[in-house]
Amino acid sequence: MSKEILTLKNVSKTFGDGDTSTTVLKNISFALQQGEFIAIVGPSGSGKSTLLSIIGALLTSSSGNVVINSKNISTYRPKQLSSVRLENIGFIFQSAHLVPYLTVKDQLMLISDISKKNKKENSKRATDFLQHLGLSHRLQTYPNKLSGGEKQRVAIARALMNDPDIILADEPTASLDSARGKQVVELISHEVKSRNKAAIMVTHDERVLHVCDRVLHIEDGKIIEK
């Protein structure tokens, strides 16, 4: 049975105030089910990253509700939002954003240090994820020795470390060639389907859209489902 994991109701976002204010998102509503992988596409400046940041509890909306796992995070204070980020959300960005002075394995352990779970268990979890992503020979490698595709796979493993309900990816294939890009998207899809998660990917890359269940088009701050 599918379960609604995320609901947006009339979410709007305005930056600034008075004469200089701009409304970037206008009454956005949609829902995401467990096991669903959706793509968001739209022109540059249409509000895609802003939307992802609001869903990921990095930014608050100006009005409307964002409900994650039955919790209305729109009413949350900053401290509560940071625990939502840690417990419910896994982020993957355009460039992998790895910490330069940590090895591949430690990039993942950092997340578990923050969430203070069982260290031994997490170490095994990190090793398993990296092995699953074909990186077992890279555990002690630093980011500057990794290829673009390897870095992005580490970023994916890191995003999955805290067992998030929702994976958010902002142009995860932008720095990759088409074969690597396809791999990364298939990996996200596999994670969503096999572990009953949900994912939203912002992308400009038409070649990977077929992997997603639905494509939401955003234009001028509004969603149009084609």
Ligand X SMILES: Nc1ncnc2c1ncn2[C@@H]1O[C@H](COP(=O)(O)OP(=O)(O)OP(=O)(O)O)[C@@H](O)[C@H]1O
Nearest 5°: the CA angle 63, 66, 69 is 165
For residue 131, give every residue at least 6 positions away whose Cβ sits within 8 Å of its Cβ, in sequence order, or none.
none
Applying CB under 6 A, does 107 fall inside the site for ligand X? no
Q: Where do we find the tokens 């394995």?
A: 105
Under rule CB under 6 A, how many of the chain's residues touch ligand X?
Answer: 10
Least Å distance, CB 64 to ligand X, is: 16
Applying CB under 6 A, does 162 fall inside the site for ligand X? no
What is the per-residue binding string for Mg ion in 9-48, x denoting contact by CB under 5 A?
A: ---------------------------------------x
Nearer to Mg ion, 40 or 166 (CB): 40
Least Å distance, CB 2 to ligand X, is: 28
Distance set, CA 34 to CA 7, 51, 96, 129 (Å):
12, 19, 25, 21
Least Å distance, CB 179 to ligand X, is: 23
**DSSP-assigned letters across all residues of 109-176:** HHHHHHHT--HHHHHHHHHHHHHHTT-GGGTT--GGGS-HHHHHHHHHHHHHHT--SEEEEESTTTTS
Least Å distance, CB 223 to ligand X, is: 12
Least Å distance, CB 224 to Mg ion, is: 18
Residue 105 sits at φ, ψ, to 5 deg, of -60, -40
What is the per-residue binding string for ligand X in 7-26, x denoting contact by CB under 6 A?
A: --------x--------x--
Nearer to ligand X, 24 or 126 (CB): 24
What are the tokens at 89?
Answer: 């959300």
Q: Where do we find the tokens 């206008």?
A: 26
Binding positions for ligand X, 21-50, rule CB under 6 A: 24, 42, 44-50
What are the tokens at 5?
Answer: 């994991």
Out of 34, 49, 173, 183, point to the residue binding Mg ion (CB under 5 A). 49
Distance, in Å, from the CA atom of 18 to the CA atom of 7, rounded to the nearest integer, reads 30
Least Å distance, CB 49 to Mg ion, is: 3
Applying CB under 6 A, does 203 fall inside the site for ligand X? no
Please report, as ranges, the residues that interact with Mg ion according to CB under 5 A.
48-49
Please report, as ranges, the residues that interact with ligand X according to CB under 6 A.
15, 24, 42, 44-50
